[in-house]
Amino acid sequence: MSDGATGAGAATEGAEAWTATVLTLFPEVFPGPLGISLAGKGLERGLWRLEALDIRDFARDKHRSVDDTPLGGGAGMVMRPDVVDRALESVAGRPGPVVYLSPRGRVLTQDVVRELAAEPGLTLLCGRYEGVDERVLEARGVQELSVGDFVLSGGEVAAMLALDAIVRLLPGVMGNEASETDESFERGLLEYPQYTRPADWQGRPVPEVLLSGHHERIRQWRREQAERITEARRPDLWARYVAEKTPKQNDQATKDDE
């Protein structure tokens, strides 16, 4: 898709579809991976909408320039406040908050993904070069959202990443695919190991319990595995999980210490 909307098909009756508006210098890269599989089918079925707008369309000079050198010196270029402001003004009033994808932002986690999926939509401003002039972010009260502690060359991949995670939580998008309630982060744990046929592959049998047909034992085994993996790989998640699992015991321990 170049700039323009997708997903305007059979919108969910009686409700406006969740709407993503992307402001970017490269609208042609959307929907990209969001146009395939679950997200793509959801887009086709009108379960969500995506519109990518070209920030350059809001430039006014004959060269359609969107950037300028940093005041105070330094490397690279900065996206101009007047151009970004006009782009933001053109989408003011669209559903949901406006976020600027930025390594300085609030870090995207599954909790943040759930929060954004509960909004009616989202406007995503993608930076390039050294980023966007600070004043337009302040003037427009734009929140910043980071996809991790690393620097990408532009906000487009970050916007796709956030949208992919959000869209799969929208009603109807997952269909009968794996329930999100069992997945990593949904219960504060990483996921248990998954297996499929054959039951023995290259002399590696799957754990016996999975062939037992005993649902309660399987549930218990999966929970133990999820706990084991989380404790080993993510001490940060594990500490939070343990604290939330045993709040009463922890309260008592604190009282005993006093």
Ligand X SMILES: C[S@@+](CC[C@H](N)C(=O)[O-])C[C@H]1O[C@@H](n2cnc3c(N)ncnc32)[C@H](O)[C@@H]1O
Positions touching ligand X (CB under 6 A) are 101-104, 126-128, 130-131, 146-148, 150-155, 158
Q: Which residue is nearest to ligand X (CB)?
A: 127
Residues 6+ apart with CB under 8 A from 104: 144, 146
133 annotated to a ligand binding site: no
Q: Position of tokens 């690279």?
A: 76
d(CA 234, CA 189): 9
Q: How far apart are CB 166 and ligand X at their closest, in Å?
A: 14
Cβ proximity to ligand X, 66 vs 173, nearer residue = 66
DSSP per residue, 117-154: HTSSEEEEEPP-TT-B-HHHHHHHT-EEEESSSS--S-
Cβ proximity to ligand X, 138 vs 244, nearer residue = 138
d(CA 66, CA 78): 8
172 annotated to a ligand binding site: no
185 annotated to a ligand binding site: no
Instruction: Find the distance separating the first CA and the last CA of the chain, reported in whole Å.
Output: 63
Cβ proximity to ligand X, 42 vs 127, nearer residue = 127
Residues 6+ apart with CB under 8 A from 115: none
Cβ proximity to ligand X, 85 vs 231, nearer residue = 85
Q: How far apart are CB 222 and ligand X at their closest, in Å?
A: 32
**Amino acid at position 57, single letter:** D
147 annotated to a ligand binding site: yes
182 annotated to a ligand binding site: no
Q: How far apart are CB 112 and ligand X at their closest, in Å?
A: 12
Q: How many CB atoms lie within 10 A of CB 212?
A: 11
150 annotated to a ligand binding site: yes
Do residues 212 and 171 make contact, with C-beta atoms less than 8 angstroms apart? no
Q: How far apart are CB 80 and ligand X at their closest, in Å?
A: 13
Q: How far apart are CB 234 and ligand X at their closest, in Å?
A: 20
Cβ proximity to ligand X, 46 vs 154, nearer residue = 154
Annotated binding-site residue numbers for S-adenosyl-L-methionine: 127, 147-152
Annotated binding-site residue numbers: 127, 147-152
